[in-house]
Structure 1
Amino acid sequence: MSQLDNTKVKRLMTYRYVVWGVLSLAYIIVFFHRLAVGVVRDELVNTFNITGATFGNLGSTYFYAYMLMQIPSGMLADSLGARKTVTVGTLLAGIGSIVFGYAPTIMWAFLGRLVVGLGVSVVFISILKIQSQWFKESEFGTMSGITSFVGNLGGILAKAPLVIMVGYLTWRVSFAVIGVLSIVISILCYVLARNTPQEMGLPSIAEIEGREVKKSFKKKPNLIKGLIKVISNSKTWPGFVVFAGFFGAFVTLSGSWGEAYLIEVYNIPKVKAASYTMTAVIGLAVGSIVIGKFSDSIKKRKLPMFVFGTVYVISWTILVFLNGGKPPIEILMPLLFMLGFTCPVFVLGWACAKEVNPPEIAGISTSVVNIGGFLGAAILPPLLGKVFDKFAGTMSPVELYHKAFMYSFISALIGFIFIFLIKETNCRNVYKD
């Protein structure tokens, strides 16, 4: 390899973190909106005079939009490219956040939430696509975990920091500020991001690794045929269900009803309640890095999923069943951290999706699995909301949340069962025509 080539390789190895970094800023916005509504629940209920079920549906509007956009997101990432896709998506999210913040009626709030969901839905799949172009196969699990960690910083901001921000600025101004920030990030994505190293005159990762670059990989894939391949591949679907079960359960606690549970069952102040659920989000962030790195280091996917998944179900068992659904407050913070820490089994589900399908359609394969998590996150919160609407006033808070969180426990258990059906890839692409 010539000196010029070595220079290009060094530039690639440096600039890939610029590309990944600016897209990760957009992903922080994704997580913020994912969890922020639960923190301003009281403000929304009082402003719009809505029921628990309506509040649950308002939160789920984001997830329905996100879910329905996953396959189109994969197609956009594989055809239009991650750079333009994230730029437009983050711009839409900014506009939607401003609409949500200044919504005069609940219908405008639903519209704003819908636009936010549509906008942010394209970001993560685009990052996975970027990773497949700028990072080695052996780095994919680790980078997916780091990406999830960075995104979770947005979830952390949507907890106690958001409560404080709302106290100073009101909830309306807070969401408008986040909207403006999103628009700025969308501009940065367009200016700094590139879809592939080749767009900058740099060698591809495949060339650096000494892998053969297939001709089919050099041209645009047939998106419809690619989607059919992914959907018809039975190895795609276990990861879908694992993500649905685990993440759906987590969102009911961290994004919708966790603060209310802590306030009503433990009688603790709102800022302190938000700090407790923030502990679960921090756990998710840390666990995402640990499970990704652990998987890549031992060259296994299924074993880490099983170990983490087992502890995750045990954590839910303690939360829902110990002392009738009210564990001692002394163990609550470490319990919530462990619940978050072991939840990101789905990080490896994304890697498996890429590794059991053709590499040229990495965007589509990961997007199909990604639908699962947001299907679970869309269905479960309104389901719990109906429980609260039906039984509020007839049960004590402990009994009420025990009954509601039973659905979260069942969701986690179903996800765990499907880990056994995951195809072990040993951290490499095992797809065969």
Structure 2
Amino acid sequence: MWSVGLLAYAVAVFHRSSLGVAAVEAQERFSAGASAVSLFLVLQLAVYAGLQVPVGVALDRFGSRRMILAGAVTMAIGQLVLGLAGNVPTAVAARVLVGAGDAMTFISVLRVVSAWFPGSAAPLITQLTGILGQIGSIVAAYPLVTLLHATSWTSTFLGAAATGVLVGVLVLVALRDAPDGAPRPVPAGLAELRQGLRDTWREPGTRIGLYTHLVTQFSGTVFALLWGYPFLVVGEGLTSGTAAALLTLLVLVGMGVGPALGRLCARWPLRRSVLVFGILVATASTWTVVLLWPGRAPLWLLVVLVVVLGTNGPGSMIGFDYARTENPAERQGSASGVVNVGGFVASLLTILAVGAVLDVMTPGASTDYRLDAFRAAFSVQYLFWAVGLAGVLRHRRQLRARLARDGVVLAPLHAAVRARLRGGSAYR
């Protein structure tokens, strides 16, 4: 079951990434400037983030199979419209459909993971889902671009739409929500849905999951999705080949780190926040060194930055682990939806803020950005790190207070480490 869900998610990532690798061709086809093409991405992310909670509520009501099927069909329609589009408004509408279908997929696959795997295996499978799903971006970057150059815009995106149809058929035939005998979603009225969403939000585990996703995800996403390449090439003066290699390294690091984080979360579930703080400190500290470096940063330092940013995506998966362990099965969808809002809203706002600062510091409509403009622009990240850190700390206190009322009192980390080394208990 997981392999079917994983394939559906990989294809969703493929659809999500398909326009980004065809940005130049999109400008030519629609006679649009870079700002108009970037609008496609912003709206797509906005739709994705805005639909997370409604999709989560629907997921709890209708189950994974229906939601993944609906997502595959919606994305296929979006790619079909994009392939036939001849103007910017139609293309924007197409990407909105892709964003809507994409929004239905990932958290639905996470519910499949929760239903089919025991608790100890779920963190690792969740990490593998996020990692292996990125194969879709590789397919977008290479085979799709090759097809685009060999054929035409319409043929390429009609082919992309066909993959969505094939995935929909596979989901319809092969995917089941849960093993035989497991509880099924019970249709609920509007009042019950509202109450369930309120209960999900009141749960400290949901909120620490949201802020975990926010504080760990956005920096790597902003770098990989839009502003990393121009920063490396225009700001730091690297060749396009070197910049592309660094972005590839970012993905590869995530693939390596994810399983390790999954195992750590499974082994020490009550210490997950330590991993979150470690990723946050490493990311903010490395960025600080890069931004304060006199002149252009040396290549080794940029490699370190990219390696650290590669931990951001796997780190954000810890947020979903909080949602899984702290919410009952009937609220898994809405809890995952709430968590998924955090990182993508922060990413969207950071993308816009970085662009705004670059525009303010760059004369006219030039894209010849100076290094000091990039430094000022990337400094907006500190605001989102502060917000995320405050949220994690606040809701960790609330979660630990509830655990204490249930009889689980965590010793301070240093005492827990000493106790572990002496063969004692990490609790008191």
- Is the structural similarity TM-score above 0.5? yes
How much does 1:389 deviate?
3.3
Match of 1:411 among 365, 376, 384: 384
Letter in 1 for 2:315: V
Deviations 1:251-292 (A, max 9, x none): 221111222223323455545533322221222333332212
TM-score scaled by length of structure 2: 0.82
Percent identity of equivalent pairs: 23
Aligned residue among 286, 289, 295 for 2:259 = 289
Please give the per-residue CA displacement for 1:194-235, whole angstroms capped at 9, x wherever unaligned.
01111xxxx54xxxxxxxx8xxx8845642221111123344
| Amino acid aligned to 1:345 | G
| Alpha-carbon separation, structure 2, partners of 1:180 and 1:128 | 24
Q: Report the counterpart of residue 344 of structure 2 in structure 1.
A: 374
Aligned to 2:244: 274
Q: Is the 8 A contact 1:39 1:158 kept in 2?
A: yes
Gaps of 5+ in 2: 407-428
Aligned equivalent of 1:138, options 100, 120, 145: 120
Structure 2: distance between partners of 1:160 and 1:402: 31
SS of equivalent residue, structure 1 residue 138: coil
Tell me if structure 1 keeps the 8 A contact 2:63–2:185: no
Q: Secondary structure at the match of 1:136?
A: coil
Residues 235 and 371, structure 2, Cα contact 8 Å, conserved in 1: yes
The corresponding residue for 2:212 is: 242
Shift in CA distance, 108/387, structure 1 to aligned 2, threshold 3 Å: farther
How far the C-alpha of 1:116 sits from its partner, in A, is 0.1
Given the alignment, which residue of 303, 324, 335 partners 1:333?
Answer: 303
Structure 1: 5+ residue runs without aligned partners? 1-18, 205-212
Mapping 1:157-196, distance limit 5 Å: 157-159=139-141, 164=146, 166-169=148-151, 173-196=155-178
The alpha-carbon deviation at position 183 of structure 1 amounts to 1.7
Q: Residue 12 of structure 1 aligns with which residue?
A: none
Letter in 1 for 2:203: N
Deviations 1:149-176 (A, max 9, x none): 1112223344466555544446664443
Task: Indicate if the aligned counterparts of 2:61 and 2:185 stay in contact, CA closer than 8 A.
Answer: no
Please state if 1:365 is matched with 2:338. Answer: no
- Tell me the amino acid that sits aligned with residue 187 of structure 1: V
SS of the equivalent of 1:194 reads coil
Pair 237,70 (structure 1): closer, same or farther in 2 beyond 3 Å:
same
Verify the 8 A CA contact 1:48 1:105 in the aligned structure 2: yes
Tell me, in whole angstroms, the C-alpha distance in 2 between the residues paired with 1:74 and 1:264: 40
Contact kept, 8 Å, 1:53 with 1:382, in 2: the verdict is: no
Counterpart for residue 418 of structure 2: none
Report the residue type matching 2:273 in the other structure: K
- Aligned counterparts of 2:52 and 2:110: Cα–Cα separation in 1: 12
Instruction: Note the C-alpha offset of 1:47.
Output: 4.2
Partner SS state of residue 177, structure 2: coil
AA of the residue aligned to 1:262: L
Partner residue in 1 for 2:100: 118
CA–CA separation in structure 2 for the residues paired with 1:38 and 1:403: 25
Q: Which residue of 2 aligns with 1:6?
A: none
Aligned to 1:95: 77
Partner of 2:46: 64
Deviations 1:61-93 (A, max 9, x none): 111111122122212222211112101211111
Equivalent residue number for residue 398 of structure 1: 371
Flag the 1:149–1:110 CA change in 2: closer, same or farther, 3 A. Answer: same
2:275 alignment partner in structure 1: 304
1:83–1:194 Cα contact (<8 Å) kept:
yes
Matched, 1:421 2:403: no
In the alignment, which residue of structure 2 is the partner of 1:16? none
**In 1, are the aligned partners of 2:236 and 2:371 still within 8 Å (CA)?**
no
